[in-house]
Structure 1
């Protein structure tokens, strides 16, 4: 440090630390002379400081003067740790911690990373061993805020303290330790993974206490999609937790936005089976709320294609996919999925659902109730037992049956009526549009126009007559 007064620690020949005070405008700790206008002045000040040390019989520590090598405190560290443990065991924990912190300072200023990391871990370990969690939390912050603290030491402090979180005697102390570690990790790229883990633990504590909204807000503070230290699987699992809590909070718009951060093709990679199933179950919850049966069909179809499912789980997913394919409004995509499910080999093990697929993929009139053996069992599916949508979806089966019959009958009957001239229709097959408005000839168009003009003039004449009648009555 620069100034008129400077403190430094040096070692005399007897091996005792001696604190000396000097006056002068030079930097002792890093061995750098102060900025002066002349290079010789800076050099002479540094030499003067060195000679002053030696004249007092005090030899500067390695690294305290410019040009000296960095210090190595491995031997001192190895000797101090057993003494500190014994001192703490005898009841003088504060003295043991103070001795460790003094050597930690020297190791930090002399860039002895091996000794530094060993000492900071020993400080935290001693506090943990003696159940001093309040002091542990204080020293986590203290060690990380020390001047010129090394990133390797900070990383070791955080990873060591994380291992002590489950041992905290109370939930309040666990939360305080997590909060302290999150503060330390905030803004440090090399600790982004640890901060995400700590945030998730804090969110779980809030959720366990019934604070769903607060837990969701805490978890959304972390944007893991930008983190490079986490694997794709870890990112996916973290985002899935964000989606789950957001759905529990009933914030469906934000849940949908968060779900877009996960690419569907990533879920098809190896080791993503559990994440894939969890993702689509969450999306089933979302689309059930949105009443989107076509998307529900796609979700169940994706679950059905997962390799790790048991035969019973595959059968259940296929049944749900088939029912939602039938319930979905008619469209090209719906018809494609319906025919694809109708060709699924596993359908043969489900006779009622196989018959259902045949009915809706064949251009024949379907009676209702559906003539399917075992339809009562299918109608008792959990889909139709949903407290919010179940009754509506069961009614939709009847609606889709009626729509199917209309499509089957309409095409043949309209074609026959148009052919015999009973009904005018112009069919544009590529565009799938039928126009029932007959084009008028010029004579018919002129006649209709003349009729409309005559009607307009008649109305004008009647209106004028009524106005004159009212005027005459009021004049009288």
Structure 2
């Protein structure tokens, strides 16, 4: 009790000093007397008085913004010294209310919200933690370090994914441009010019830019996996594969390259998929996992793939993905793989045949006539294939109907090629004749 009275007396004394300094416009004096009050409360471990004094000092008439900044910064380390979780939350909320709406302590407020959200997350209140984090738009903070901004936004994205709010997760992820991870960190930091805001150093617990790059793409894989966007997932794994620390360690890049191969095979046939497929096949590292090289090679070879033989060969590898980085492939991945093989086979048939009976097509695809017709119709609708079916005759035509202009243009092109060949032949005959005449003269 005696200690409490003594503390109150010391605080009262310092409050009078603070008032005099504030009225006199002495910034350093006001700041010192205010921070000394907080230190007294902390030393006495009187958390209630500490919270009350923070609010009181910040709301005093004409209080200087430098003093409010000092108060918040002084009290931030005290959070770790609190005896229990209730006291910790109370102190964070006090500091949060003091810093709310004040641009000069916006970075401190963001860090406070992040800590509070982490506590809520540990307590299992994911939705509340996500809503707390969404209040803060760190991309507008000029003085915050780039890595700290990215880490904060990634936390926002992660919490949205945890609560399955995929729309908001996508909106938040677009605040980060993938180009930011390719910045050269080895360059010396430029000194800010006069009038420019000084960028603070990132806290020690913030990951490096390359670590953040990996976290970003792992979160994007989680986002794209909810609607099985295989091509985008493949591109994300490609980005992770390009990180130097991954590329230099075989134990890290092998599972990543396996995932790239699987998602390439699962992706629908389109120009981007074809480009990624060819660039992956050219990768020398693929020879370390020859099974997957063979799998990709089959997709670029214009030959019909036997689904049963392919599945027997790769079923073990497919099931083994659950023990690899990124976990098992989705539940419908096996069906999608079969679909891709059928599509590949239909494209191969369309290259070799201009017309074919539905019955023969079904035999080549190892499907029933109805299934073959359905798969081919789906490809025509998605514009992956040009085909027409004569159902009464049971004949499929892969030739596109040409209009009169196209036919005339093709004739004109053929005539031009013919005349060009005739001209070259005449030139060769004339040349041989001249050489022969010269030989006779000699």
TM-score normalised per structure 1: 0.67
Q: Offset at 1:398?
A: 1.8
Instruction: Work out the CA distance in 2 between the residues paired with 1:382 and 1:319.
Output: 8
Matched with 1:379 is 318
- C-alpha change, 1:124 and 1:382, in structure 2 (3 Å) is same
Q: Kindly indicate whether residue 262 of structure 2 is the aligned counterpart of residue 323 of structure 1.
A: yes
Matched with 1:93 is 7
Matched with 2:287 is 348
Instruction: Work out the CA distance in 2 between the residues paired with 1:438 and 1:191.
Output: 70
8 Å CA contact 2:286, 2:293 repeated in 1: yes
8 Å CA contact 1:247, 1:255 repeated in 2: yes
8 Å CA contact 1:383, 1:390 repeated in 2: no
| The one of 240, 243, 260 aligned to 1:303 | 240
Counterparts in 2 of 1:13-52, with a 5 A limit?
none
Q: What SS is found at the alignment partner of 1:169?
A: coil
Matched with 1:401 is 341
Q: Kindly indicate whether residue 154 of structure 2 is the aligned counterpart of residue 234 of structure 1.
A: no
Q: Kindly indicate whether residue 193 of structure 2 is the aligned counterpart of residue 279 of structure 1.
A: no
Q: Offset at 1:209?
A: 1.0
8 Å CA contact 2:130, 2:156 repeated in 1: yes
Matched with 2:23 is 109
Counterparts in 2 of 1:8-157, with a 5 A limit?
92-157=6-71
- C-alpha change, 1:121 and 1:363, in structure 2 (3 Å) is same
Q: Offset at 1:361?
A: 1.5
Instruction: Give the unaligned 5+ runs of structure 2.
Output: 186-207, 358-383, 387-397, 405-442
Q: What SS is found at the alignment partner of 1:391?
A: coil
8 Å CA contact 1:193, 1:230 repeated in 2: yes
| The one of 91, 110, 118 aligned to 1:177 | 91
Matched with 2:102 is 188
- C-alpha change, 1:387 and 1:240, in structure 2 (3 Å) is closer
Q: Offset at 1:297?
A: 0.6
Instruction: Work out the CA distance in 2 between the residues paired with 1:363 and 1:337.
Output: 18
Instruction: Work out the CA distance in 1 between the residues paired with 2:337 and 2:133.
Output: 40
Matched with 2:229 is 292
Matched with 1:410 is 350
Q: More helix by proportion, 1 or 2?
A: 2
Q: What SS is found at the alignment partner of 1:181?
A: helix
Matched with 2:435 is none
Q: What SS is found at the alignment partner of 1:301?
A: helix
Instruction: Work out the CA distance in 1 between the residues paired with 2:283 and 2:327.
Output: 30
Q: Kindly indicate whether residue 362 of structure 2 is the aligned counterpart of residue 362 of structure 1.
A: no
Instruction: Work out the CA distance in 1 between the residues paired with 2:267 and 2:322.
Output: 13
Q: Kindly indicate whether residue 339 of structure 2 is the aligned counterpart of residue 339 of structure 1.
A: no
Matched with 1:260 is 174
Superposed CA RMSD: 2.6
TM-score normalised per structure 2: 0.72
Instruction: Give the unaligned 5+ runs of structure 1.
Output: 1-87, 418-430, 441-476
- C-alpha change, 1:169 and 1:391, in structure 2 (3 Å) is closer
- C-alpha change, 1:358 and 1:395, in structure 2 (3 Å) is same
8 Å CA contact 2:18, 2:34 repeated in 1: yes
Q: Determine which structure has greater relative contact order: mean sequence separation of CA pairs < 8 Å that are 6+ residues apart, divided by chain length.
A: 2
Q: Kindly indicate whether residue 99 of structure 2 is the aligned counterpart of residue 159 of structure 1.
A: no
Instruction: Work out the CA distance in 2 between the residues paired with 1:389 and 1:318.
Output: 14
Instruction: Work out the CA distance in 2 between the residues paired with 1:286 and 1:369.
Output: 32
Counterparts in 2 of 1:191-210, with a 5 A limit?
191-210=105-124
Q: Offset at 1:415?
A: 7.1
Q: Kindly indicate whether residue 390 of structure 2 is the aligned counterpart of residue 390 of structure 1.
A: no
Paired residues, what number? Answer: 340
Instruction: Work out the CA distance in 1 between the residues paired with 2:402 and 2:10.
Output: 102
What is the CA deviation profile of residues 381-430 of structure 1, one whole-angstrom value per residue up to 9, with x for unaligned ones? 3369999963311122222112112211221111799xxxxxxxxxxxxx
What is the CA deviation profile of residues 208-233 of structure 1, one whole-angstrom value per residue up to 9, with x for unaligned ones? 11111011001100011111121221
Instruction: Work out the CA distance in 2 between the residues paired with 1:407 and 1:174.
Output: 64
8 Å CA contact 1:192, 1:229 repeated in 2: no
Instruction: Work out the CA distance in 1 between the residues paired with 2:339 and 2:312.
Output: 20
What is the CA deviation profile of residues 311-370 of structure 1, one whole-angstrom value per residue up to 9, with x for unaligned ones? 212111111011000001111111111111111111011111111111111212222234
8 Å CA contact 2:321, 2:329 repeated in 1: no
